[in-house]
Structure 1
Amino acid sequence: MTELTIALDAMGGDQGPDIVVTALARALSSYTQVDFILVGDQQVLQPILDRYPAISQSPRVTLQHASQVVAMDDKPSAVVRAKPDSSMRAALDLVNNGSADACVSAGNTGALMAMAYLTLKPIPGVVRPALVAPLPQQDGRQSLLLDLGANPVCDAETLCQFGIMGSVMAQQINRQSYPRVALLNMGREDLKGNDTVKQAAQLLKATPGIHYIGFVEGNDLFSGRADVIVCDGFTGNIALKACEGMAELLYHNLKQSIQGHLLTKVLAKLLFKRHKKSWQWLNPDQYNGASLLGLRGVVMKSHGNASANAYFSAIAHAIDEASVELPQRIHDRIEHALLAQVSDNRNE
């Protein structure tokens, strides 16, 4: 792997910097060719780092002081100007000036999107960046769902670009040579849905290099029918939160059922031990990390209450995207699509 540098916003999130430092310790041993810049309040971070000699003594870890912290309840429009020396802004600046190849933050989602947009700027031709995250599929693979909340309202052109960006990501990260792209809709029939979704479908059909397969419904999110599922941020956020809520309900009910009897507890423990690898795909930690696609740099949003293992997954996803230079790949595909549109317009 080409040597990379990842900037970590150590002060963002609900769990505090301890989680970030613990995840960093694992990342150091897992990615021996990657350097890290830990960004945050030095007075807070140094005592934590002193408990981890492998980090504090590593030449691959740099501590950069930032005097301000973006709180989870801060208004995005306010923090951009009010907190120029926040750990979040400093981590993004490192990507912008080329000192880091990616930024990972578990902080305020709205603030991260606003700061990333202003700091890194969108890729030329991209209408709106999108939040995208992986979803487990029945066949053991992963699909991509976007947008997850960055853009509550989208026009047809924006949805089409989401499909293009998602397709590039599926090719580069999930190693799918010809990803199946679909639009999330209230039915699979062509007549279903609003005008925006129908117009987006026509644009995707006409976009070269995109394997558009039509509409999918909510019950297709985990079926493996599509590799990239596109929707506006309002729909995507609700869909994702509904799935998370259902997963929590199933886990709670299963746990209550198992703990209700000693025999079921013993059998469940034996079953899990025997089929541990088969059940690993159910672990939500490995899916933590929503990427902000469409910017000139890699920005990874970790869940605010992520565990150390989950935050490590976000770091791993950021490394994967940086290693394949995903923003440049998206730039090339968007440019190609725009040139094709210009050519079609001239022919008309």
Structure 2
Amino acid sequence: MTPPDEPVDLDAALRALPKVLLHDHLDGGLRPATVVELAAQVGHDLPTTDPQDLGRWFVEAAGSGSLPRYLETFVHTLAVMQSADGLRRVAREAVLDLAADGVVYAEERYAPEQHLQGGLTLQQVVDAVREGFAEGEALARADGHDIRVVQVLSAMRQADRSGEIALLALANRDAGVVAFDIAGPEDGFPPSRHAGAFRVLRDACFPTTVHAGEAAGLDSLAEALHVAGAVRLGHGVRVADDVHAVPGGGWRLGLLAHWVRDRRVPLEVCPSSNLQTGAATSVADHPVTSLRRAGFEVTVNTDNRLQSGTSLSRELALLVREAGWTLDDVVDVTVTAARHTFLHDDERRALVDRIVRPASTPGTARPGRHRA
């Protein structure tokens, strides 16, 4: 039964809210039908060729509770992203799907080194993705959706190409690449393995966001901050291990948690993904809520829309329905995301205004203040 103080269509109300997405993997957001079609073209075998069944397979396979098992699902998406045409199509459709969900700005990340099996160069990979984003933005605008999508280049932390990818990011900093990241298996592959790349980027005044605090704990977070110089933390939920509620209200923070909160380092939290990889047990008990209450800079993200069967609106709806969030919470984390994009300050301010204006307009569809 729909709670009396919840809008009849909460999902539609959340889709109507202009949203900002900071942590979304391009190779984790393909349409199942596109995977089927492109796989047939390149001769790649899939678990099933029925798009609906394939979509379910991705969610089930990614929901094993293990990050390494979760990452295995990317064998099938990467297989169809090894040509310029395939990359352009995936990038174009990602923009259109995000626009349809009410996203107005997104930072899409991917690892160029994983798209070279068809003979492309690293630069050709970046060019194909940029062209696909531009095509998607134009089509979205023609359909009445104004959206901007930029690139975050990831280096695989278990590989040794981070220096190349750092230079690639710098070479394209004026062509839609806004940041550098390391991704892949976190436990056992610390940021210190890539200290040279991070030093080059820091010297060039180029921002980094690091996957940390998802499958490994406080040591991983500390290296992301102090070795990599990360200005955002991808996931970051394990900082909650250093945050403790005290009787009577309030919080006791350890040294690392104080560092993160005091310096307003934003957390790119991905609730559904965290449930699948075992970083959280339920949406209701997800650390994202307590971290917000403790004063951390929290943003809500999708991670991999295909593997989690999700969208940004769905992630926010889950927090409203299962964790007691209100519209004020939703708008607040969206504004927080806008303030921590890798855009310049004047562009951030304009983005914040774009979010706050419709959210505060009388008569605008608003999610209710339902508490679970």
TM > 0.5 between the two? Answer: no
TM-score by length of 1: 0.30
Over alpha carbons, which structure has the higher Rg?
A: 1
TM-score by length of 2: 0.28
